[in-house]
Amino acid sequence: MAQMNLLHAINEALDIAMGNDERVLVFGEDVGHFGGVFRATAKLQDKYGKARCFNTPLTEQGIIGFANGLAAQGMRPVAEIQFADYIFPAFDQIVNETAKFRYRSGNEFDVGGLTIRTPYGGGIAGGHYHSQSPEAYFTQTPGLKVVVPRNPEQAKGLLLASIRDDNPVIFFEPKRIYRASVGEVPEGDYEIPLSQAEVVQEGTDITLLGWGAQMELIENAAKRAAKEGISCEIIDLRTLMPWDVDTVAASVVKTGRLLISHEAPLSGGFAGEIAATIQDQCFLHLESPIARVCGLDTPYPLSLEKEHMANEHKIFEAIKTSVNF
């Protein structure tokens, strides 16, 4: 299998999707000849022309409104929001239009072919306008799917599945590992099913759950825990909505403990929803309170970024606290 980084895998997925289906269009701010601010769409315009890969004005609400119109007419638009922090001007279009198209028409029409790609998260010294993790805002919106990959192999398969899914999908890409995450990626066309979590590592003492770039930190913390005799089961949620409750619950029944970690702030983060659901389903199997290791409830800082983030040291300490409860 070819070795590639996460950006290359995303670019290859877009290339395959556009090559196999002429209804797939890619557009956003600077995605054309420039290839996007991170070069995720590099060379796509050269290959498929300006009619299928093109720049838009700097208006996120306009980008998604335009995408809704295309999807409603049967196209499969892939709209890029340059940074997840910039998705909020488009919030009305996504929440009140994209998510409700199918419902309000009684399934007579929809925008199910729409995929929204956007880089999210910190770790690049981007400050408060280029580092946020807003995934939880959209998990409370029926009608949307929310997907986050952790590595190149996952990114390619999940993005192809998202583009071909018959529901609108927001695809959050962890930009901290765009170039840092390198791994083997299957050649050609393949899909990874949405709404199926993956048990990355089996264990017996505690379940560790996360998504995106946080998975690397969780795995590092688990290695440190193993040196102290703690066996960690690691699960990558992959799809946040609809999420795979059964896989997570089965793991917690086995281990008796759950720790959830994400970059977004603790309050209102999706870890709270997971914790409430698993507490409801697994209460009699829990050996300790469900733990959350998340970002701080502050605006995302520039100079204190490392202190703000939920790093492997915080996760490791929380593992020990849970197991020794």
The pLDDT tens digits of the residues spanning 143-195 come to 999 999 999 999 999 999 999 999 999 999 999 999 999 999 999 999 999 99
Q: Establish how many alpha carbons lie within 13 A of residue 50's alpha carbon, considering only the half-sphere containing its beta carbon.
A: 5
**13 closest CA partner among 152, 150, 170:** 152
Question: What was the pLDDT predicted at 109?
Answer: 93
| Cα separation, 57 vs 291, whole angstroms | 43
On whether the CB atoms of residues 16 and 162 are closer than 8 A, the answer is: no
* Known catalytic residue at 60: yes
- Of the candidates 29, 60, 135, 312, the residue annotated as catalytic is 60
- Active-site annotation holder among 8, 29, 130, 312: 130
CA 120 to chain centre: 8
Average pLDDT over residues 68-89: 98
Q: What is the pLDDT of residue 112?
A: 97
* Backbone torsions φ then ψ of 255, nearest 5 degrees: -90, -30
DSSP string, 236-248: E--EEET--HHHH
What angle do helix axes 152-164 and 6-20 make, rounded to 10 degrees? 30
What is the CA angle 108-139-165, rounded to 5? 45
SS3 251: helix
Over the stretch 81-130, which tens digit does the pLDDT of each residue have?
A: 999 999 999 999 999 999 999 999 999 999 999 999 999 999 999 999 99
313 annotated active-site: no
Q: What separation in angstroms does the CA of 164 have from each of 17, 79, 193, 212, 315?
A: 8, 14, 11, 21, 36
Is 1's pLDDT higher than 90?
no
pLDDT of residue 219: 98
Closest CA to 67 of 58, 251, 56, 269: 56
Q: Quick one: pLDDT at residue 165?
A: 98
pLDDT tens, residue by residue, 8-55: 999 999 999 999 999 999 999 999 999 999 999 999 999 999 999 999
What pairing do the DSSP bridges indicate for beta strands 169-174 and 145-147?
parallel
The model's pTM is 0.97
Environment class of residue 107 by beta-carbon count within 10 Å: exposed (0-12), middle (13-18) or buried (19+)? exposed
pLDDT band at 322 (very low <50, low <70, confident <90, very high): very high
Secondary-structure breakdown of the chain: helix, strand, coil percentages, each rounded to the nearest 5: 40, 20, 40
Give the pLDDT confidence of 196-235 residue by residue, as tens digits.
999 999 999 999 999 999 999 999 999 999 999 999 999 9
Give the DSSP H or E segment for 206: strand 206-210
Give the per-residue pLDDT at 290. Answer: 98
